[in-house]
Amino acid sequence: MSYGSRQFAMQWINHYSRKDTNHHIKGSDTAANRRTLVIVPFSVVIDDRLGAGRLDTFTTLADIELDLNTAANWDTVTPIDYTVAATRAGNDFYYYACIPVSGNVPVVKLSANSTYPSGYTANNSRKIGGFHAMPHVTAPTWLADTVTTVKYVVQPVTPGATKLLYRCTARAGDYKTHAATEPTWPTTVGETVVDDQVTWTCDANGCENLPVGHPYIGFLMGDILFNSIWDLLDLPQCSPEGMVKSSSTPSNGGKALWVDIYHANGVGTTLSSVHAATVKASTGFFTFMEYGVLLQKKMISLSEFQIASKGSIQAAVVAGAALPATSKFYLDTTGRSIISNVGCIGITGEYYTFLRDSPYIDLATLAHVHVENAAAEYTQSASVASTNPIPALAHVDDSAGKGRVYHRGILKFVAIGGGALAPPASVGSHGLVFHCEYTGGTSNAVRFVCDPK
């Protein structure tokens, strides 16, 4: 066999093709559509149909709709039943083309397994894609004798299995909750309960108080985070779990950058982007850069950050105004979900994010003249010769003991974006701070990106 023939054979073995549009959700208009994955027509080679080393091509001719609440669409519902929204919230799932009993139309199964679905093997199934399920919202816990604002959202002191939330829809008098007793919470969405001067309305757990036009309005825990849907023709160069496509039209077939859904989390040198894991902070800029390489990712740049964080909260911080230890789906102080238009969670109002294209600026050797235009629309800054003497040479040691940075004067080495806890006015897609401590800080985290494959 010639080299060209071998190459053709390998391409045929790996064959997978589909309609020009990507797999996608059925729609964002109804609850059922937001949790339904639409598999567009595709063709795929699956190994060894008859156990005799033979390869066959399997083809679908029409869309396949997979409602996540339907047991028949999953490989198994034991020991964990993923037809229940609360059990799949915040998890990654996969979809497989499987060899049918007869014919050449593949069976498509959803699975939590990353290798092959239950009831099948690596020989009679093939992974063709995956997605991330919307995590459940972690709201502030109800407090007694507390002033409450309209739209503020709480969860019971002891949350139920359904993780229902309660939104303030009316208030009177001193606007306070009961001085001592937690209300008996209703368990039907839309029902209300009066808590002294506050009226709470029961909400299903999901995106809260998002502004008009936000793509994730109405999405509930366990729904499909539609920017996270990937397949063999549209995925990042790294592992796709815990990532979203940074595109306003993710299913149109175009390539785009992939971004971590959560702040990088975990321990050691192998980080991940998973729900409810410990956020990796207090780590140096250069160390984060090395971690990214290990993951086949890179730190996010300023322009990438601005695109990925668009639609997230502006001029507000996470409820409780304290850095969250874990990468959960929190609300801000007004009861709004912290999620961007492309599905990045917690990207503003929590931690600052290290930006990889940070410039070196030594402000001590420059003097500045600031000129504001008449309409106060912008400020220009022009540098002039400094009258100060050249500062003495100083250095900062890398926190990991891998060298030192020499500088003169005040070292401004890295930029961090998004805004952390103070001041709230710094929070937003264009929030930017030139931070002195490139060696890391408790409020500095990282979010990785990856180029499309």
Judgement on whether residues 110 and 148 belong to the same structural domain of the protein: no
User: pLDDT class for 52, splitting at 50, 70, 90?
Assistant: very low
Residue type, 377: E
Looking at per-residue pLDDT, the higher value among 36 and 5 belongs to 36
Using DSSP's 3-state secondary structure scheme, residue 162 falls into: coil
Is 80:118 a contact under the CB 8 Å cutoff? no
Reported as a single tens digit per residue, the pLDDT across 303-350 is 999 999 999 998 889 998 889 999 999 999 999 999 999 999 999 999
Judgement on whether residues 281 and 423 belong to the same structural domain of the protein: yes
Looking at per-residue pLDDT, the higher value among 379 and 325 belongs to 325
DSSP conformation class of 227: G
Tell me the C-alpha to C-alpha distance, in Å, between residue 359 and each of 331, 336, 415.
32, 33, 7
Residue type, 75: D
Confidence at residue 366, expressed as pLDDT on a 0 to 100 scale = 45
Residue 74's nearest CA partner among 113, 30, 27 is: 113
Judgement on whether residues 29 and 124 belong to the same structural domain of the protein: yes
Whether the per-residue pLDDT at 63 is higher than 70: the answer is yes
Domain termination site, one of 205, 223, 258: 205
Is 46:58 a contact under the CB 8 Å cutoff? yes
Judgement on whether residues 25 and 124 belong to the same structural domain of the protein: yes
DSSP conformation class of 286: H
Pairing mode, if any, of strands 444-445 and 352-354?
A: parallel
Measured between alpha carbons, how far is 82 from 79 in angstroms, rounded to an integer?
A: 9
Is 31:61 a contact under the CB 8 Å cutoff? no
Measured between alpha carbons, how far is 224 from 76 in angstroms, rounded to an integer?
A: 19
On whether residue 369 sits in a domain, the answer given is: no
The distance of Cα 220 from the centroid of its chain, to the nearest Å, equals 15
Judgement on whether residues 116 and 181 belong to the same structural domain of the protein: no
Measured between alpha carbons, how far is 414 from 401 in angstroms, rounded to an integer?
A: 18
Averaged confidence pLDDT in the chain: 86
Judgement on whether residues 170 and 276 belong to the same structural domain of the protein: no
Structure tokens at 168: 């303030």
Per-residue b or e along 373-392, where b marks 16 or more CB atoms closer than 10 Å to that residue's CB: eeeeeeeeeeeeeeeeeeee
On whether residue 29 sits in a domain, the answer given is: yes
